[in-house]
Copies of this chain bind each other. A is one copy, B any other.
Amino acid sequence: MPVFATAKAGGSPKSAARFFSAAAPFLEALDQFFSDQRSEFEPELRELVQYALSHSGKRLRPISLYLTGASADGGFNADMVRAAAVVEMVHLATLVHDDILDGADLRHKQETVSRKYGVPAAVLLGDALFAQALQLASGFATTEVCRLVSEATRKVCAGEIEQTLDGKAPDDDTQRYFRIIERKTAVLFQVSCRLGALLGAPGPDMAETAGEFGRHVGIAYQIYDDLVDVIGSEKAIGKTLGTDFASGKRTLPFILLFQELESGERENLLASFAGGDESAPDGVDIGKLMVEKGVAERVGEFFGLEIGKAKAAAKILAESDGGEGLYDLATFIEGRFAGLLGDENS
């Protein structure tokens, strides 16, 4: 499966090629592991498991784990593969349940599980993936993996709860936005990198720093992803543009845009979305408005802070073990972000 399906100007294809090709054998081992896992699920669920595990997007968490844990020559061990499977299964379980909450029809250009197989099947698939992931986690020699994974799962769930159930959230609350993405996204990147260090070449001493890398790169990636939602091309991204807005989730670009608008402009914008066709609200080009109001640049400032911290952590890790993979990953995401702004302004 292609990672970042559309190559755009401003990315860093060279460094990208380097770390993606380095990670390829690891991702193959992960696919094999998932394939073997299918028989661990009930016959009634195997088609759904296959559907969920094989259309699972970019595998960024496993890639982060691999890049953190790989030895100088790119080698990895079976524990790393199993740990990556655990984290990715937790991630996929949360997506399956998220799509129930959002009533989403599409994810990565595919019908969502709840849409294709119904809500009961989606509830059960998510539960089974959670439980199977935790069972795999309990198979490690120490309680450390089980503890890290269950804590991370708990936090992801907490993020989803705040995002879904907190009805009185103000529109312009950037603190709330960062609290939610810290828990919904950053935590699983953080645990991926921690586990990579713990189980791979760097060792437990580097686990804390690796976790910090994961945390900041996860936040940066989510900021990028949320900007893609509003100024990216729907065709290229495969998500319904404006979904987050329509579902009442205020992502960073919208929070910043609302801060820039006069009260009348805000009402116009809200009214233009109220019709229900989020992808083309009446007479408002959201992407253009974002650029006009300088929102993309302000998003870029937040992004830059996070990616900078990620690169700083990556440098410390590189000094310790000589691996450039994490730095390359941060640089690649930075390039993608720059490319997004470049495309829009051109």
A147 near B135 with CB under 8 A, answer yes
In residues 128-184 of chain A, which contact B (Cβ within 8 Å)? 128, 130-132, 134-135, 137-143, 146-147, 150-151, 153-154, 157-158, 160-162, 164-166
Q: How far is the CA of A153 from the CA of B127 in the complex (A)?
A: 9
Is there an interface contact between B154 and A132, defined as CB atoms closer than 8 Å? Answer: yes
Q: Which residues of B contact A255 (CB under 8 A)?
A: none
Question: Nearest CB to that of A94 among chain B residues?
Answer: B127
With contact pairs A97-B123, A130-B131 given, residues A138 and B150 touching in the complex (Cβ less than 8 Å): yes
Asked whether, in the complex, the Cβ of B120 is within 8 Å of the Cβ of A164, the reply is: yes
Complex interface residues of chain A between 230 and 282 (CB less than 8 A to chain B):
none
Q: A138 near B146 (CB under 8 angstroms)?
A: yes
Cβ contact within 8 Å between A42 and B151:
no
The CA-CA distance from A143 to B141 in the complex, in Å, is 8
Chain A contact patch, size range: 35 or more
Give the complex CA separation of A140 and B146 in angstroms: 11
Inter-chain contact B124/A126, CB cutoff 8 Å? no
Q: Is the CB of A135 within 8 A of B123?
A: no
Contact (Cβ within 8 A) A134 B162: no
Known A-B contacts A42-B162, A147-B135; the reply to A157 vs B124 at CB < 8 A is yes
CB-nearest residue of chain B to A159: B42
Instruction: Name A40-63 residues within 8 Å CB distance of B.
Output: 42, 44-45
The answer to whether the Cβ of A101 comes within 8 Å of any Cβ in the partner chain is: yes
Indicate with 1 or 0, residue by residue over A195-217, a CB within 8 angstroms of chain B CB atoms.
00000000000000000000000
Min Cβ gap A132→B in Å is 6
A119 at the interface (CB under 8 A from B): yes
What are the residues of chain B within 8 A of A97 when measuring CB–CB?
123-124, 127
Of B100, B128, B147, B158, which one neighbours A120 at CB under 8 angstroms? B100
Tell me which residues across on chain B come within 8 A of A150, comparing CB atoms.
Answer: 131, 134-135, 137-138, 146
**Chain B residues within 8 Å of A161, by CB:** 42, 44-45, 124, 128
Copies assembled = 2
**Residue A121 at the B interface, CB < 8 A?**
yes
Chain B residue nearest to A135 (CB atoms) is B150
Which residue in chain B gives the minimum CB-CB distance to A128?
A: B157
- List residues of chain B with CB within 8 A of the CB of A134: 134, 146, 150, 153
Q: Which of B143, B153, B157, B166 contacts A140 (CB 8 A)?
A: B143
Q: Which residues of B contact A147 (CB under 8 A)?
A: 135, 138-139
Of chain B, the residue at the smallest CB distance from A125 is B161
Q: Restricting to A314-346, which residues have a CB under 8 Å from any CB of B?
A: none
Q: In whole angstroms, what is the CA distance A134 to B121 when docked? A: 23
Say how far A47's CB is from chain B's closest CB, in angstroms. Answer: 10
Q: With a CB–CB cut-off of 8 A, which chain B residues contact A139?
A: 143, 147
Beyond A45-B161, A119-B119, A143-B143, 17 extra complex contacts between A and B, CB < 8 Å: A42-B158, A97-B127, A123-B123, A124-B160, A127-B160, A128-B161, A130-B131, A131-B153, A131-B154, A132-B154, A134-B134, A135-B147, A135-B151, A135-B153, A138-B143, A138-B150, A139-B147
A-B contact pairs, 23 of them (CB 8 A): A44-B161, A44-B165, A44-B166, A45-B165, A100-B119, A100-B123, A121-B164, A124-B157, A124-B165, A127-B157, A127-B160, A128-B157, A131-B154, A134-B146, A134-B150, A135-B147, A135-B150, A137-B146, A137-B150, A138-B151, A143-B143, A146-B146, A146-B150
